[in-house]
Every structure is written in C-alpha cells, then in structure tokens.
Amino acid sequence: MWMSSFARFALPALQRSSGVAARRVLGACRAPVPPPSRLTSVQLRGQQTLGSASLSAGRQPVRQVRALDQERMVEVEWEDGGHSLYPFTWLRDNCQCPRCTLESAQARLLLLTDLDIHIGVEAVELTNDNKISIVWPDQHISLFDAEWLKKRCFSAAARQAMQDELFLNERFLWDSSLLIPTADYQQVLEDDEAALAWLLALRRVGIVSLKGAPAERGQVSRLAQRIGYLRLTFYG
Ligand SMILES: [Zn+2]
C-alpha cells in the first residue's frame, strides 16, 4: 500500500527531474532498466476478450446493451468495437443510487445482508444520455455512467492496464546475482534527481542501501518526510 501511494504521489513530483541519476543508481542492478511497459488502447482493443479498456477519462459511447440471462451478465457493446460483461450481482452490489451509495463519502449504504447474490434483472436499456439503466425484480433502478463502467471492465487486458496504472508493473526478481543499489543519504535529502533515483530503484528492486546518514536519532523520519508526511498508527 505504501509503495502504491508513493508511486502515485511522490514519483510524479520528482519525475520532473531528469533520469540521469536514476540510471546511475540503477546501474548497480543486474539488468538494464527497460522502458515502461504499458498497453496502449490500440493494443488493448486488439486483444480484448470481454471488452476494450480505457483508463482515460472522457465520453465512452455505448452502441448497445443487453442482458444475458443465462450467463447472468449485462453485456455492453462499445462504439469502438469492444464489449464488456458485468455480472448481475456485481452491478446490483455497486448500484450508485442515493439509497445504495452515499455520494459525499463514496461509501456503500447497501448492506451485504440485503444483497441477493442470485439476483436477475427485469430490464436493461441504454438511455439517451449514454447511461445504462437496469430495473431489478423489486423495481429498484440502477443507473450507471458508461465511463464509470468502462473503467471497471473485467477483461484481462483491462485489469492488466489498471494494474499497470496503479501498482508495480516492473517486477525485478532477485537471485544470487543481485547487486543492491546504493544511494547517498544527503544527496537524497537535498537533490531531487537523487531522490527520484532512490525512489525508482526502491520501486523496481525493492531494496536500496543508503550510505552516509548521520549516526543520530531521527534520520529515518527525515527520509520519510522527504517524500511524504508522518502519521501515527496503531502499530507504534
Ligand atoms: Zn440503488
């Protein structure tokens, strides 16, 4: 969790610096740093099975929508040619209406005990403003934005793209040839390039040896404050 937070907040700020120091510190690793791998939307469309994925915001026109009663899924066909499948139960569980979701906190109000995991749908339709409307057997109505659904496409390619976006996407497996990257503690504190190099190495390799820190209390806190803020936890 910490790594993903740092990847989302600290790295973008530091990545405005050049990657020279990053390459230097990563030179200690076993393999050269590959370019970032990320599926493009074109690649994604080419290998979709369930639907095309797009992490970018913006209008996602729907061509048509239908309920597949036997599979217990709603199928959304997108104008770009892809299609996505969403389980009935998942859709009911994720209803965004004010009775089921508290919008201000983005928190669910629907109790699990009130969720029928065997639920069917009575009607599914595409509205004039590009939303998917579902009428459930108890006449409860769910209305989903197409963009909201597209971001949550269940296809393998879409999930991979989301993982690439949010989590670690360059796995570096350790073996006996691992040389632990090193960085200078003072440089990391004072120089953005060095800090970026440290963070990139830490994200990719998982361990970086910092040299030259004063042998005094509080040095770890200084390092943490370099990239974020400290807060107390239950864990001490
Ligand atoms: Zn609802």
User: From ligand 1's centre to the CA of 143, what distance in Å?
Assistant: 8
Residue 140 Cα, ligand 1 centroid: separation in angstroms?
6
In the chain, which residues have pLDDT < 50?
A: 1-9, 15-56
Q: How far apart are CA 101 and CA 131, in angstroms?
A: 17
What is the CA(175)–ligand 1 centre distance, in A? 51
- Output the CA 161–ligand 1 centroid distance in Å: 29
pLDDT of the residue at 101: 94
Q: Where in the chain is the domain with CATH 3.30.2020.30?
A: 41-164
Cα 148 to averaged position of ligand 1 atoms, centre (Å): 15
**CA 134 to ligand 1 center in whole angstroms:** 10
Rounded Cα–Cα distance for residues 183 and 224 (Å): 15
The tens digit of pLDDT for each residue in 28-76 reads 333 333 333 333 333 333 333 333 444 445 688 999 999 999 999 999 9
How close is the Cα of 119 to the center of ligand 1, in Å?
A: 14
| pLDDT score, position 168 | 65
Ligand 1 centroid to residue 94 C-alpha, Å = 8
Q: Cα of 98 to ligand 1 centre, how many Å?
A: 7
C-beta pairs of 230-236 under 8 Å, 24+ apart in sequence: none
Q: How far is the CA of 102 from the centre of ligand 1 (A)?
A: 10
Q: Ligand 1 centroid vs 97 CA: distance in angstroms? A: 4
Residue 76 Cα, ligand 1 centroid: separation in angstroms? 20
Q: How far is the CA of 166 from the centre of ligand 1 (A)?
A: 28
- Confidence at residue 7, expressed as pLDDT on a 0 to 100 scale: 43
What's the gap in Å between 189 CA and the centre of ligand 1? 49
CATH number of this structure's domain 41-164: 3.30.2020.30
Residue 72 CA to ligand 1 center (angstroms) comes to 18
The model carries a pTM of 0.54
- Give distance in angstroms: CA of 135 to centre of ligand 1: 10
